[in-house]
Structure 1
């Protein structure tokens, strides 16, 4: 009995260490409560054992971390804010960057992130002091889009999620990294007749210090940071993912900035001009599994299909284009996948008439593919419903990869980093 307990204790420790997590992080990874770290410690010391279900979960953990950054030499350091599952991180790591800090509040996204990168992100950025964030050369952030999105209420800065931009502003003001990349929904461009985007750009360029009413929710540190002017050379553009090789019509706004005092000669507009020259012919069938090989659980029920068809007729009668969308292998691309895809799959259904079946939803692996994630990316760390949300909220990786490659020449290593220092600071 003691030998079995010791063997289990060793297995728990080995699994944790293979994942690259400390005891507190491992407890969070397993979904344990505030006392989880102490419980993990007791398990590893053999003082007591986990429940059978928890032991089975630990035994089943995949400790193959496909994108652990083992590179010894790095060209630049970056931070990954509102990180989701790491879609922005991946290309910047590929081109030689080292991620020194990650923030993400969603516990399921954190689990997928840790399963792929071997690092558990810190939590809610509004609770993390700027002083606790390491120095860095590049700030990356796909800041929350729900406040500006078509599917949301378009509340903008009146929504707590909309004020997350000012968390970015206070970090930029304190650390003055060389550059940043921000990503959001294309609706940000027209939100409040363009005034929201203009506020963001003017703040980043240091043209104005925004005056945000006291009743607009934001962290105290972000509000204090509003008084510090930035000085970035900034431009933006809306780019379509299907021009970058993925069969998905996904339009997003990308904002790039370089600190004028550190990188004075960058033509940001020219970077976007080059990105806009890229064209790609795509075919949805190139990323789809053969229908006959897909688990029948992804085929929608007769009841759900009837509901989709009824709503489509109702929308057509009203003269609008809403309703479910059906695609096949020869479709050049599909609609934008959203975080609500898990509900009914209506925006992207795959026809299976050749099998005499109702249409089906995409599998999580197919969702990863239409976002351009590598095949090695672990999509099985969470349930299908959570995976759908995560890929719907994520970025198109090939778009980020092209941006990273064009930003890279301006992110040369500084002497401070070469000599083991902390990098750029204003």
Structure 2
């Protein structure tokens, strides 16, 4: 039977960052991850870091590669009605964003945890969590072909929407709010040099499109599609033709084509679980909340959660003071609902709504026109996009 102070389930950004922040405070952790190291380091996810998220990685000593290889952006572009409209993030807020893939953040955090002799058990399949009402929870898992147990003081559930952590809470103790959307994103990863200095969010009658990048040689692009869309039904030629159609506005800017390395469907949904704490279990990241990807907030919310959780746990281990833990859920949820609102707002503004009548379509156009024409409306978008200030209770 293994023993640790905090058992972290899930080696995504939330679990890895939490383990790293706790180690800096002298608190032992063991990370249990169901997948292999190769899988979690190659899983393509979000690529935009808010100003505060990038600063947090630097402050934690894991931002050096991000600063060397990431791409700092001072603006984003909205493309609609045949024109591009620049939202100047730096001018409006004094802050920037960093384009740096989530899998790269995961690589950096794993490398640092292992360099610091942190314990990460890959391919460790958790079958159950017991004793959350006691002061010694027990996690049962399979690793290296053997059934094993891990006892701890606290369990950090960072294992995503489908993980075992939230499912281990007794019925009725957590309320969930969810919303699905009548569309999804078809994601394309292409070996093609970016032709824009900024991300391009496009509203087209055929549907939304997003032009992003992962490196000076690789672009990441998305098309609005049906939730049941088969990505393999799209030929490479058909994908490029539709991306040109939705993203380009006839002003001379065009996108580079190249070999398509990956195609996948990203579902669109909103989800919030509250509270984010049940006794000795604390939820973080996608285990507690999911936002539509339009606002680029998923990884950023996960990193914000653990920046609140780490000092709260340290306070408990230092003096048995539960003040921070008691405030953890309310503090995070206040931010989560603001971010949820922003993500839904951007989604509705930019996506073709399948059942929208003429009245709703004109309102959508007026919203876009307002953001493009008004500094105050653009500032609202910019302030949310670069990231709201992080409030950590003292």
Q: Normalising to structure 2: TM-score of the pair?
A: 0.26
Q: Which has the higher strand share?
A: 2
Q: Larger radius of gyration, structure 1 or 2?
A: 1
Q: Normalising to structure 1: TM-score of the pair?
A: 0.25
